């Protein structure tokens, strides 16, 4: 990381660090600066909450070796270099004009971290065209790559009910099951929200890649609208932002890798291993949601194809 300097008044001035920002943040970073506050600090990531009603309201700045969420700006330094060592929870920040700038609270306003967006990355993976037979093979491969057991909500009936209702195309009961697990579980991203994020992004992107996947995309539209409508009052601010991202088909790098594996563009097992290593239970919960979405898309697309053949 570049060395800090001091201003004429003796304040610490840190040079801009280059960052690669998700396209999901373009609306935030391209507009004039707005106020934000640091809500969490970890060795590999910091999270800022913006004082705006629009999503994404939470932005992550992460090290190069961190989990790359769809709402993140990635800096070149690894976590061992302690790129966020000067940042403290509660610090003031500004986001906009292509920058994220964090300062200490109070009259001194000493600079903590300044990140300048130099390039962009796309959080919506391109899957191309996926035949039904290929999706069926990928579902089996994904099932085989995941460990035995349920998601972080093991024993709770909600995830299975949600998966079953989605596979049946039963929107009303799927919405009911989804709303029962919003915000369920501990942590910055509760297990219920991670399951929903995996499910939503899978239904939308895999459904869009499959020729008969229109019902899956329709389901993603309505489920996404239902779970994001009041997410800011039902779960953490970070989880609410990630649900909004998933509803738009925006995924983190580890989730995107599994989706590309489903589409046949990379090996399944290494992609799943990287996802499972993310967070305490987040990786497993996201993987469970991805599998549920792929299974539902396969069931719905197969039923649509069968119905078309019968009518013909």
Length of the chain: 312
Tokens representing residue 222 in the block: 């309505």
Residue 308, pLDDT above cutoff 80: no
Domain around 21: 5-121
- 261-274 mean pLDDT: 97
Residue 149, pLDDT above cutoff 80: no
Give the end of a domain, one of 90, 121, 152.
121
Long-range contacts of 132-136 (CB under 8 A, 24+ apart): 132/210, 132/211, 132/212, 132/298, 132/301, 132/302, 132/305, 134/263, 134/264, 135/206, 135/210, 135/262, 135/294, 135/297, 135/298, 135/301, 136/298
Beta bridge mates, 21 = 73, 120
Residue 184, pLDDT above cutoff 80: yes
Residue 97 is assigned to a structural domain of this protein: yes
Residue 143 is assigned to a structural domain of this protein: yes
| Residues 176 and 68 both lie in one domain | no
Give the end of a domain, one of 64, 91, 121.
121
> In 3-state terms, what secondary structure has residue 103?
strand
Q: Higher model confidence: residue 279 or residue 202?
A: 202
Residue 194's φ and ψ, nearest 5 degrees, are -65, -40
CA angle centred on 151, ends 150 and 153, rounded to 5°: 100
DSSP character at residue 283 = H
Residue 126 is assigned to a structural domain of this protein: no
| Residues 83 and 195 both lie in one domain | no
Give the end of a domain, one of 55, 89, 121.
121
Per-residue confidence band for 108, with pLDDT thresholds at 50, 70 and 90 = low
Q: Identify the pLDDT of residue 10.
A: 46
Residue 292 is assigned to a structural domain of this protein: yes
Question: What is the distance between the alpha carbons of residues 105 and 91, in angstroms, rounded to a whole number?
Answer: 6
Is the sign of the CA dihedral 233, 238, 243, 248 positive or negative?
positive
Q: Which of 209, 230, 175, 188 is nearest to 53 (CA)?
A: 230
Q: Identify the pLDDT of residue 6.
A: 46
Q: Higher model confidence: residue 9 or residue 62?
A: 62
Number of structural domains (the chain) is: 2
Question: What is the distance between the alpha carbons of residues 81 and 257, in angstroms, rounded to a whole number?
Answer: 26
- Stretch among 14-23, 101-110, 198-207 having the lowest mean pLDDT: 101-110
Residue 7, pLDDT above cutoff 50: no
Per-residue confidence band for 2, with pLDDT thresholds at 50, 70 and 90 = low
Per-residue confidence band for 67, with pLDDT thresholds at 50, 70 and 90 = very high
| Residues 162 and 269 both lie in one domain | yes
Per-residue confidence band for 309, with pLDDT thresholds at 50, 70 and 90 = low
pTM (global) more than 0.85: yes
Question: What is the distance between the alpha carbons of residues 79 and 47, in angstroms, rounded to a whole number?
Answer: 15
Considering the chain, what percentage of its residues have pLDDT values greater than 90? 81
């Amino acid at each position: 990381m570049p060395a800090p300097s001091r201003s004429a008044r003796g304040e610490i001035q840190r040079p801009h660090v280059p960052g690669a920002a998700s396209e999901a943040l373009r609306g935030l970073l391209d507009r004039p600066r707005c106020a934000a506050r640091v809500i969490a600090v970890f060795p590999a990531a910091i999270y800022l909450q913006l004082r705006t009603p629009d999503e994404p309201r939470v932005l992550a700045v992460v090290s190069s070796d961190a989990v790359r969420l769809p709402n993140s700006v990635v800096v070149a330094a690894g976590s061992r270099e302690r790129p966020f060592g000067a940042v403290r929870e509660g610090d003031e920040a500004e986001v906009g004009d292509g920058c994220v700038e964090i300062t200490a609270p109070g009259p001194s306003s000493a600079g903590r971290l300044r990140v300048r967006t130099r390039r962009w990355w796309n959080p919506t993976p391109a899957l191309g065209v996926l035949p039904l037979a290929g999706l069926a093979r990928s579902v089996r491969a994904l099932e085989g790559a995941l460990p035995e057991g349920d998601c972080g909500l093991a024993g709770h009936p909600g995830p299975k009910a949600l998966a079953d209702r989605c596979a049946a195309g039963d929107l009303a009961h799927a919405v009911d099951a989804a709303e029962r697990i919003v915000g369920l579980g501990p942590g910055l991203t509760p297990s219920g929200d991670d399951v929903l994020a995996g499910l939503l992004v899978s239904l939308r992107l895999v459904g869009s890649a499959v020729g008969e996947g229109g019902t899956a995309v329709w389901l993603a539209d309505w489920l996404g609208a239902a779970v994001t409508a009041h997410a800011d009052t039902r779960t953490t601010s970070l989880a609410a932002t990630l649900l909004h991202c998933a509803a738009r088909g925006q995924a983190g790098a580890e989730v995107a890798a599994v989706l590309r594996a489903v589409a046949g563009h990379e090996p399944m097992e290494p992609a799943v291993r990287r996802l499972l290593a993310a967070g305490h239970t987040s990786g497993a919960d996201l993987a469970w949601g991805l599998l549920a979405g792929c299974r539902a898309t396969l069931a719905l697309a197969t039923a649509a194809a069968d119905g078309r053949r019968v009518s013909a």
